[in-house]
């Protein structure tokens, strides 16, 4: 199977994707780290985030690798930018506030999509992002759109930062997340939206264990062989 998981920031899609991949023995790939890495590279190289031509060129130049965790500090994977571990740097508020801008550039997205499809061609993959079910893997066997209120998502990100002993301001995170949601959903190229045949799950007020169990039930009901799990139209399901 190829499983696509989409949704806004901090909806729980990365945790869900990692858990599903572990249970199924599949490759877990969070595509959002590519856009975060490019944003970090632009900041490090003092490139104006709003310079579309420069960001398109940068996307073709940087070397981004995603590997299993090489240290045990709570990370889901390790992200390398030109050979340097930048995993936690990619979660800084400065990246959160700016990553949606490069991700709107067609040149950047086209290069990232090309690389993502090459990985998916091998099959048995859980791919997480914002346009996986609609653009990257429109033929995915199962498409999930995971959502939650912006207030709950901002609080999750705030608590994650505090757990890493980092300074964090909930109000600032909430404002940045609202701005990012607007940019992601209104961009002309690959906007954030649920695929027409996605399973839509609202994680507000639900533990991630409930979400994982519900999705595993969906997979079990349909089996893990070939064939699309979705019914051909969007459907909302309740966790638990």
Kindly indicate the confidence band of residue 120, based on its pLDDT and cuts at 50, 70 and 90.
confident
Residues 91-100, mean pLDDT to the nearest whole number: 90
> What CA–CA distance (Å, rounded) separates 198 from 138?
10
**pTM for this entry:** 0.78
Q: Closest by alpha carbon to 9, among 39, 33, 45, 37?
A: 33
Kindly indicate the confidence band of residue 57, based on its pLDDT and cuts at 50, 70 and 90.
very high
Enter the tokens of residue 152: 């709950």
8 three-state secondary structure: coil
DSSP strand pairing (78-81 vs 64-67): antiparallel
> What CA–CA distance (Å, rounded) separates 49 from 98?
8
Phi, psi of 168 (to 5 degrees): -155, 140
- The answer to whether 40 touches 81, Cβ cutoff 8 Å, is yes
Among 56-65, 69-78, 141-150, 227-236, which is the least confidently predicted range? 227-236
Please give the share of the chain, as a percent, with pLDDT higher than 70: 94
Residues linked to residue 28 through DSSP beta bridges, in sequence order? 126
Kindly indicate the confidence band of residue 226, based on its pLDDT and cuts at 50, 70 and 90.
very low
Residue 222's domain spans which residues? 2-237
Domain count, the chain: 1
Residue 211: give its domain's CATH number. 3.40.50.300
Residues 100-116, mean pLDDT to the nearest whole number: 89
- The answer to whether 214 touches 240, Cβ cutoff 8 Å, is yes
Kindly indicate the confidence band of residue 240, based on its pLDDT and cuts at 50, 70 and 90.
low
Compute the residue count for the chain.
240
């Amino acid at each position: 199977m190829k499983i696509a998981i989409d949704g806004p920031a901090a909806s729980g899609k990365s945790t869900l994707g990692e858990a599903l991949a572990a249970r199924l023995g599949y490759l877990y790939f969070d595509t959002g780290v590519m856009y975060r890495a490019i944003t970090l590279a632009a900041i490090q190289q003092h490139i104006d985030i709003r310079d579309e031509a420069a960001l398109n060129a940068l996307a073709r130049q940087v070397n981004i690798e995603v590997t299993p965790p090489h240290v045990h500090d709570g990370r889901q994977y390790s992200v390398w930018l030109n050979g340097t571990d930048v995993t936690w740097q990619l979660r800084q508020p400065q990246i959160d506030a700016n990553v949606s801008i490069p991700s709107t550039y067609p040149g950047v997205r086209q290069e990232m999509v090309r690389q993502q499809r090459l990985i998916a061609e091998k099959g048995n993959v859980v791919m997480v992002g914002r346009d996986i079910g609609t653009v990257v893997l429109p033929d995915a066997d199962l498409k999930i759109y995971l959502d939650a209120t912006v207030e709950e998502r901002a609080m999750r990100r705030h608590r994650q930062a505090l757990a890493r002993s980092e300074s964090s301001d909930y109000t600032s995170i909430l404002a940045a997340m609202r701005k990012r949601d607007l940019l992601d959903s209104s961009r002309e190229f690959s906007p954030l939206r649920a695929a027409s045949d996605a399973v839509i799950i609202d994680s507000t007020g639900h533990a991630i264990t409930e979400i994982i169990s519900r999705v595993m039930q969906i997979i079990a009901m349909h089996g893990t062989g070939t064939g699309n799990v979705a019914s051909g139209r969007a459907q909302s399901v309740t966790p638990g």
